[in-house]
Every structure is written in structure tokens, then in C-alpha cells.
Structure 1
Amino acid sequence: MGDDPEEGMLSWDESVFRDEHVFEIDYLPETFKHRKGQMESLTYALRPAVRGSRPLNVMVRGPPGTGKTTAIQKLFDEVGAQTADVRTLRVNCQVNATRYSVFSRLFEGTFDYEPPSSGISFKKLFGQIADKLVEDDRVLVVALDDVNYLFYENEASDTLYSLLRAHEEYPGAKIGVIVVSSDPALDVIEELDSRVQSVFRPEDVYFPVYDSPEIVDILEERVKRGFHEGVIGREILDYVATLTAETGDLRVGIDLLHRAGLNAEMRASRTVERQDVTEAYDKSKYISLSQSLSGLNDTERRLLEVIAHHDGEQAGDVYDAFHDETNLGYTRYSEIVNKLDQLGLINADYTSVDGRGRSRSLSLSYEKDAVLNRLD
């Protein structure tokens, strides 16, 4: 058997994966490691809701890939298992980046069907949600995940104001808010209007980047659940963990394990080798870029493409090229530039230009080919 060239090779109907879903973005791990303190803080804030009162508001902060969304999902599952009198709803603000679209998702979560696509005002939409909460005597806990996208669209203050003041306009409505930000440069409280700052006094829960031992521990658990025994050796796991630690994003490591496994299968191998990981890393390291691009509309993607072809040029020159293609005005152009800058997709730095004073130069934060390939 030891001399059999077919030994260690997969047949066409075999897989290195025990459960491939373990490596998908929406997978909720049974054991949520190294976030005990954060979970205790979140539980403390939501405990009043289980007793029928308004919960404490919470601000969850931390870089991408540090477990924030998983924590919210785990917490909401626990609340749902304890009582039916608390409605928990998570809104992805990367997809729903306006006040109206946020409340449309809240309407859908409250009534289990979507609101009319047109002809219903925000006031009526909100009123129906609040009336239903009062009628059912339910507490609503809203998690605005990736709330930074509401700030990028200047919608955060209006959205939070409506939620935080709901009990004044609709007596008996009990709503708690969890804002989740993945933008380390965003000072959530400072960027809100004064009318919102006066009522928004949230508990602050911070999610730091996982350290190397924590990354190894978490990835090892995924390996046990996701791969058949012996597919990932210790040396390979440590290599994946090292690459993950360099990015500070646990999602990179999880995606890297998945892609490396697929690479091994392409070679019909029963084990993942270093070359499988190295090749996979060229794609996995851009998971944050892919996530950011997925939230852009066609116009925003078009400007990013123009910047890629005019990398390092002055904002006015980039606008000329963008205007020729879209005919959009400078105000809207400037808004999109600011959003791309806030997302970390570009650098919009002010520089001195002879005879023109100070002007912004626009450059990509990632390699040109990496951006253009993912825009196609």
C-alpha cells in the first residue's frame, strides 16, 4: 500500500470537507471563544428587555473580523430562546443605508411581510411598527450592523433619532438600539447631531483584534468541525494563523482554510499542503476589499474604476474624467469620494499644487489589479 501512487488521493466523489458550511460567512459557531467579557456586557444591557422594560442602548466597536456580528446573533438567539415578548432584529446597514430602508426592514421583521414598494410615507411606516409593538406589548431590540454606512450616507442621526424618541411620539413603544461599527476611525458619538447626542448614552463594548493564540484556537475549532481528520496538519494550521494575524481579520483565516481545502481537492489530495495555502492567500487577503465593494452602487463602482485608471491624480482631474462618463455634478462626486475614503478603498490626501493652493490627490488603497478584477 505504501508504494501505491493512488494512496492519499481523492476519488471523484470524495471530499476533504466534513462540513463545508463551517467556512461560510453566515456560519454561527456553537462555541464562541474569547469574547466572554463582551457577551456579558451585551447580556447586561439587554436584561431589562426580558423583564418587559426598555433595554440599555449599546455601542459595539471594533475592526472587521473581530466577532461583533457573531456576538449579536448569538445574543439574539439566546433572548429568543428565553422569551417571545422581545423582538430582536438585525439590520445590515451596508445594504440598508438610509433611514427609510432601515425601517422597511424593521417593518418586515415586525409583520413578516415587506411594506408596499411605494406610496407609504416614513411616518406611516414607523407608526405601524410602533402601534404593533404597543398592541403586542413587545420590546424591540434593533441592531444596526455596520452603522458606519449610515454615517457615510448622512443618515445616521435621523435614523437613531427616530428610534430613540419613539416612546415620546408613540407612548408604550419600547425600543432599544445596538449600533455596531467596524470603522476604527469613526467616532460615533462625535459624528451624531446634538439632538441625538443628548439622548444616546450607550454602553460601550469594544472588540479588539484577536491575538495569535486566540486565532489558532478559533481556527483549530473550525478545522475539527469542517475538515476530515488529518486534512490540516499542525504546521499548516500555524501557517494559516500567522497569515491571519498579519491582517488582523479572522475572516481571512476562515476563508483561507476553505480555499486551501478546495485547492487540495483540485489536486485530488487528501491533505492540505503549504502551496495550497499560499495560492489561496492571494484571494483570501482581499476579503475586506470584496466586502466593501459589495456594498457599492453602480455609480460608486464607476468612480472607483475611474480612480484606478487615474491613480494619484488631483481630484479635479479625476472629476473631469468621471463627469465625461456619468454627467454627474461635482457635489455628488465629492460625496462619493468621501465615502470611498471613509471605507478605506482610496486615500484622499490634501497636497499643495503650484498655482492652485491645496488640492486632494486620489489614490487606491489596494493594488490596481486587485480592485479592477473585483469590479468586473
Structure 2
Amino acid sequence: MNKDLLLWDQTIFREEQYFELDFLPENLLHRESQIRSLQFSIGPALRGATPLNAYCRGAPGTGKTSAVLKVFEEVENATQKVLPVYINCQVDSTRYAIFAQIFKKLFGYPPPSSGISFKKLFSQIAKHLVEKKRVLIVALDDINYLMMSKEIDDVLYSLLRMHEVQPGAKVGVISILSDMTLDMAKDLSPQVQSVFLPEEIVFPQYSVDEIRDILKYRIKYGFFPNVVSDEVLEKVTQYTCEAGDLRVGINMLKRAGLNAERRASRNVSVEDVEKAYEGSRYVHLNYVVRSLKKEEKMILKCIVDSGKQELMSGELYDCFKEKTNLGYTSFYEMVNRLETLKLVTLSSTGKGTRGQSRIISLPYDPKEIERRIDL
């Protein structure tokens, strides 16, 4: 029997959960300052006072959600007097839906399925907070969905003015935004701006060294020793940097490990990583396409429908204008955002006005993009 081969009931994974995208590791590396800022904002709540509001900004895959959930986990372990509620605004994008989730966290069951008025729902939440002397902290993840549905003012106003309706109610809000081209403050009414006044917490892109550190940490606890070589780690780090999203690297490690097990190997090879990348690279695509505005998706659809590998900027704009009737400035800003999100690649022809004519191409298989655009 070849001792280098895995038996059917053996595995190279020590703790496979370390490669799940929703797993919260004990140590969130390279986000220490952001976590301290969140703790500072929440600090007053631990003393029974109103917390500071916070605004977490950063590109997809930079640890915003993980940092907030990590701090929420610490709060729940420390006290019952603070109620942290995490809301995914992709799923719950109306004021009623958000308050229904708060109600469920507060009472342990959802509001009646037959539906109660928002006023009654709001009143029950506010009254309970005051009676039990609990401080509410609501994290609104992907808050751009509230901006798109025009619900953001109503949601924030209802939360932050709760003390006016129910004296003694204490509420804080943490907003999480992955769209670096949006300025949330500009979308808020003056009445909401005057009470929101958040502490801004920036989540920059991870550097190459930081990505390597984080992947090494996952490997240490997720695999048994000597499963992943330095060469393999460098390959995963390289692909992760190209994608610009840490989640791609974490998913790649899981897929590469499974590829190795399929070969009954005790070690992950570079070939296992290369095969894994074909699937993992779409993790980033799945997340970012969901966050796009309809008009931004239209730009991608124009490229896909053209049947070409690349399009001149002017040609793409003609298609975009025909479908949306928006001007060139809007188009230009959207294309730049798509490049920031690594959904398109821009290059210059060296021709045109000051040599700025641009060629726009897709870094992904057009069929994969088309599958994810729900227009």
C-alpha cells in the first residue's frame, strides 16, 4: 500500500470550516484598527448610554462584515443589556422588513404573519427596549440597497429618532457600504444627516503581504501540517490579488484541497490550485454583480451582446445610450466603477483626443456574466 495516498476515509482537512466564506475566525488579521474603532463607537452602549453611529466603507472582500460580526459576537458574550442586530439589506430592503428582523431578535419570534402596522411594530420594539433598559445597535450591511429602494431616510430616521417617540430609547446604527463610488451622506435628507453623524471607518484593500498572512492563518488551522507548500501558498496569493477579493482565495483553498483529495493525495499541488481558480474566481463575480445598478448591468450586457472580445468606448456608449438614454458623464463614471470592481478591463489605444480613446473588455467568460445579469 502506498503510504503517500489518502485512504477513502481520510482527509487533509483539520477544520474545513476555516474555508467557509461565512466563518468568523478567532483572530481577524489586519483589521485590528477597524475593530478598535467599532469598539470605540459601541463603547457607550456597554455603559447604558447611546452608542456613536459608524460608517464602514471599503471595496468588496475587505473584511467589513466580518469585523462588525466579530464585535457583535464580543458584545453578545459580554452583556445582555446591548442588543446587536445584523441586517443584510440585499435581503431586507424595506423599513418594515428591517424592523421585523429587529422584532425577531428582540422577542425570539417573528411578528404575526398576518401583519401588523409599522406603527405598532415600532411601538412594541421601542417600549421593550426602554422597559428592559437595553441598548439597540443595528448594522445595515450593503446599505446601498436601501439607497436604491429610496428607503434609507425612513429607516435611519425611524431608528435614530426612536427616543423622541419613546423617551429613554437608545439606538445606534452601523452602516456598511461596499460601493466606493457612492457618498451615502449626499443621499440623506438634512433631517437624517443632523442625527446620523457617523464615525467613518475605512477598510482599505489588503496588501499582498496581508493576503498571504490571512491565507497562511487559514491554512494553519484548516489543513493538517505540510499539506500546502510555500509554492502553493504563493500561487493562491497571486490569484487572490488579481481578483482583489479575499473570499476568492479562501474558496480557492477549499476547492484545491478537495481536488487533492480527489487524487487521493496528502498534498495540494499548484495544478490543484489552478483547477480550483476556474471555479473560485466566480465567487467575486457573484458578489459584485448583485450590487450593481440596472444601468451598470446594462453596460455589461452591451459588451456581452456585441459578441466581441473588446469594444471601443464610443461604440459601447452608443449601445448604452440607446438602452438608457443617459449621458456620457454617467456612462464614464459607471465604466470606471466597473473597472474598480474588476468587472471590466480598460486600456488605451493611444489614439483619439490626447490619446485617451479607450478599449473596454471583459476579464470573465461573457456567458458567465450573462448568467448573473437579471435584467
Residue 314 of structure 1 aligns with which residue? 319
Q: Is the 8 A contact 1:307 1:318 kept in 2?
A: no
Cα deviation, residue 202, structure 1: 0.6
Deviations 1:96-117 (A, max 9, x none): 1121211111111111111123
Q: Is the 8 A contact 1:306 1:318 kept in 2?
A: no
Distance 1:197 1:49 in 2: 21
Residue 47 of structure 1 aligns with which residue? 43
Deviations 1:229-250 (A, max 9, x none): 1111011011111211222211
TM-score (ref. length: structure 1): 0.81
> Aligned to 1:178, which of 155, 167, 174?
174
After TM superposition, list the pairs within 5 Å mapping 1:352-363 onto structure 2. none
Residue 64 of structure 1 aligns with which residue? 60
Deviations 1:199-239 (A, max 9, x none): 21111111111111111111111001111111110110111
**CA RMSD of superposed structures (Å):** 3.1
C-alpha distance 157-364 of structure 1, shift in aligned 2 (>3 A): farther
- The number of equivalent residue pairs is 340
Cα deviation, residue 22, structure 1: 0.9
C-alpha distance 245-315 of structure 1, shift in aligned 2 (>3 A): closer
1:22 matched to 2:18 = yes
> Aligned to 2:218, which of 217, 222, 235?
222
Residue 97 of structure 2 aligns with which residue? 101
C-alpha distance 163-19 of structure 1, shift in aligned 2 (>3 A): same
> Aligned to 2:231, which of 235, 249, 266?
235
Deviations 1:276-323 (A, max 9, x none): 111111221221221245689xx99x989976763557357658xxxx
1:157 matched to 2:175 = no
C-alpha distance 120-366 of structure 1, shift in aligned 2 (>3 A): farther
After TM superposition, list the pairs within 5 Å mapping 1:52-201 onto structure 2. 52-201=48-197
Cα deviation, residue 118, structure 1: 3.6
C-alpha distance 174-113 of structure 1, shift in aligned 2 (>3 A): same
Q: Secondary structure at the match of 1:172?
A: coil
Distance 1:279 1:223 in 2: 18
Deviations 1:48-106 (A, max 9, x none): 10110100001111111111111111111211222111111111111111212111111
Distance 2:110 2:291 in 1: 21
Corresponding letter in the other structure for 1:370: E
Superposition misfits of 4+ residues, deviation over 4 angstroms: 292-296, 302-309, 315-319, 338-347, 362-366, 373-376
Distance 1:183 1:375 in 2: 18
Cα deviation, residue 346, structure 1: 8.0
Deviations 1:108-148 (A, max 9, x none): 11111111234312222111111111111100011111112
Distance 1:365 1:127 in 2: 50
Q: Secondary structure at the match of 2:195?
A: coil
1:262 matched to 2:258 = yes
Corresponding letter in the other structure for 2:73: D
Q: Structure 2: which 5+ residue stretches go unaligned?
A: 307-315, 326-332, 345-359
Corresponding letter in the other structure for 1:160: L
Distance 2:17 2:93 in 1: 28
State the percentage of identical aligned residues: 48
After TM superposition, list the pairs within 5 Å mapping 1:331-342 onto structure 2. none
Cα deviation, residue 369, structure 1: 1.4
Distance 1:208 1:86 in 2: 29
Corresponding letter in the other structure for 1:133: L
Q: Is the 8 A contact 2:103 2:111 kept in 1?
A: yes
Cα deviation, residue 39, structure 1: 1.3
Cα deviation, residue 372, structure 1: 3.6
Q: Is the 8 A contact 1:95 1:295 kept in 2?
A: no
Distance 1:125 1:308 in 2: 46
Q: Is the 8 A contact 1:307 1:363 kept in 2?
A: no
Q: Is the 8 A contact 2:11 2:261 kept in 1?
A: yes
Q: Is the 8 A contact 1:152 1:342 kept in 2?
A: no
Corresponding letter in the other structure for 2:140: L
Moved more, 137-146 or 152-161: 152-161
Q: Secondary structure at the match of 1:12?
A: coil
Cα deviation, residue 272, structure 1: 0.8
1:371 matched to 2:366 = no
After TM superposition, list the pairs within 5 Å mapping 1:264-303 onto structure 2. 264-292=260-288
Q: Is the 8 A contact 1:345 1:366 kept in 2?
A: no
Cα deviation, residue 8, structure 1: 2.0
Q: Secondary structure at the match of 1:137?
A: coil
Distance 2:153 2:182 in 1: 14
Moved more, 114-123 or 304-313: 304-313
Distance 2:210 2:289 in 1: 29
Distance 1:167 1:342 in 2: 39
Q: Structure 1: which 5+ residue stretches go unaligned?
A: 320-329, 331-337, 348-361
Distance 2:363 2:272 in 1: 27
Distance 2:322 2:263 in 1: 48
C-alpha distance 292-272 of structure 1, shift in aligned 2 (>3 A): same
